Amino acid sequence: MLRYNQTPIQELIGYRALERAGVRILVKREDLNHPYVSGNKWWKLKYNLEAAIIARHHKILTFGGAFSNHIHATAAAAKEMNLKAIGIIRGEETLPLNPTLRFAVENGMELSYVNRAAYRKKNTREFFDEIHEQFGDFYLIPEGGSNLLAVKGCAEFATKELMPIDFDHLLLPVGTGGTLAGLICGLEGRKNIFGVPVLKGGGFLEKDVEMMVRDFSGTTFGNWSLLTEYHHGGYAKVTNELLAFMQEIKNAHNLPLDHVYTGKLFYAVIKEVEAGSFARGSTLLVLHTGGLQGAVQSI
């Protein structure tokens, strides 16, 4: 079992926009739940690692880009659980390794690089057979960790950690949709949930999330939606406005953010507050999903 640290709730105060709108912002600091397997990655990996051990696998294999939070977290989790880890990395090897991949290697993960054309075929039987022949028997965790076991872990998080909190709206960043699906299932139609896709054209995630929710729970819920206009140019793309905002949040609230996920989330939250999207008296719960090792160095 991975170590888990109980995490605090931090309130953002002193924002004129919040005072004018008459709303509160609470931050669930899941970035503090584990030194390396932080945020939603802890919950997404929990039951996947358990399943690998129950099935007597000694090796796990997963996918990600060169700056993947998932690769970083999986390497650390596998080491803690005494499992061998293999990371199939999109793109060519670039030396020296960036901090994310260097950390993965230092934690025992074996990296294998594939070009982008081959990577796009990662979900095909042909590709699976090729990597199975290369690496032997392994437990497969999909890119981003998003499968029904990840949904199960995130649903448990919603029930155990979020349900006792008094709030009206939950907001979180969205990459592959597994965390959002789990929270929707765990809250069982309660509260309003807003996902902020961090990639351009993130509207397609609506169908992916709906499918995971239905497959896990056997039903659908209508208490959630996506805010798709806060990607700042695409996945891992940044704007000067975003970077300045992240620095402001860090200085004012001692709240570190990353430019891939949480920076865009908090930017979206403040913009929606300023736009009057939430009724006076509302309490917003913002989920800090970790991933700070991917933050730009200046923040």
What CATH number is given to the structural domain containing 14? 3.40.50.1100
Boundary (domain end) residue, out of 93, 122, 145: 145
Boundary (domain end) residue, out of 145, 172, 192: 145
pTM (2 decimals)? 0.93
CB 202 within 8 A of CB 229: no
Question: Could you give the percent of the chain with pLDDT greater than 90?
Answer: 90
* pLDDT tens by residue, 271-292: 999 999 999 999 999 999 998 8
CB 156 within 8 A of CB 42: no
Beta bridge partner(s), residue 195: 172, 226
Boundary (domain end) residue, out of 130, 145, 160: 145
Phi-psi region of 165 (alpha: psi -120 to 50; beta: other; left: phi over 0): beta
- Note whether 110 and 186 are same-domain residues: no
Domain residues for the domain of 84 are 40-145
Burial of 218 (0-12, 13-18, 19+ CB in 10 A): exposed
Looking at the domain assignment, is residue 225 inside a domain? yes
Phi-psi region of 174 (alpha: psi -120 to 50; beta: other; left: phi over 0): beta
- Note whether 270 and 157 are same-domain residues: yes
- Note whether 13 and 46 are same-domain residues: no
Count of positions (residues) in the chain: 299
Give the per-residue pLDDT at 296.
54
Looking at the domain assignment, is residue 271 inside a domain? yes
- Considering only CA atoms, give the Rg of the chain: 19
Q: How many domains does the chain have?
A: 2
How far is the CA of 37 from the CAs of 58, 74, 77, 186, 299, in angstroms?
19, 7, 6, 21, 20
* pLDDT tens by residue, 196-221: 999 999 999 999 999 999 999 999 99
* pLDDT tens by residue, 87-121: 999 999 999 999 999 999 999 999 999 999 999 99
* pLDDT tens by residue, 235-263: 889 999 999 999 999 999 999 999 999 99
Looking at the domain assignment, is residue 73 inside a domain? yes
